Amino acid sequence: MSIEQKQKQIEATLRLAPVVPVVIIHDARAAVPMARALVAGGVPAIEVTLRTPAALDAIRAIAEEVEGAMVGVGTVLSAKDLRAAHKAGARFAVSPGVSPGLLDAADDSDLPLLPGVATAGEAMTLLERGYHHLKFFPAVPAGGHKLLGAWASPLPQIRFCPTGGISLTNAQDFLTLPNVLCVGGSWLTPADKLESGDWAGIERLAREAAALRGA
């Protein structure tokens, strides 16, 4: 699959909802009811981060059992991570930054990658390699919506999914920018709700996030 085809898949994924939940999951048994709650709330693209031993099992369970979910993998740092996530059933991959090895592995993989950048120079480097859709991370510490908005004019070819420090209270600052397709955030799946099995609460948070579209 060409980089152009994979970037089109990334764009389609980012346009599914205004927010991509960034999930840190410690118990894979929670993955399916959590994902069903997110999908029911109107947020079908789900990024499960490789920050816990349960992550790959969670991705596999969501991919196999949750209709309507577009499950992806986050915190991809290496070619090994990319291969394991693809094998588990991930539909897209997200990295906090990039390395030559990871980009080479992404070129050889059919798993679409959303690579992370924090500077205009990094964005330009990825643009040269055919990436037009990028993650801006860590969004708030790196300069927030004002910095990202300033990139819209000199880098009009690029669309972003900012992640890092974003919540319901500041998401709209990013979503109103012309170069932002969606935001990523962990507030939709807080640890206390995952641990207690409060799937109705997660669905409510997803509905609040989905309502940001077009606001």
| Active site positions, annotated | 47, 135
- CA-CA distances (angstroms) from residue 159 to 128, 184, 197? 15, 14, 35
Strand partners, 12: none
Burial (CB count <10 Å: 0-12, 13-18, 19+), residue 197:
middle
The CA distance from 26 to 163, in Å, is 21
Residue among 169, 164, 206, 207 at smallest CA distance from 75: 164
The CA distance from 140 to 165, in Å, is 5
Dihedral pair phi/psi, residue 173, rounded to 5°: -60, -35
Cα torsion 172, 175, 177, 179 to 10°: value is 160
Q: Which residues, 6+ apart, have CB-to-CB distance to 152 below 8 Å?
A: 177, 178, 179
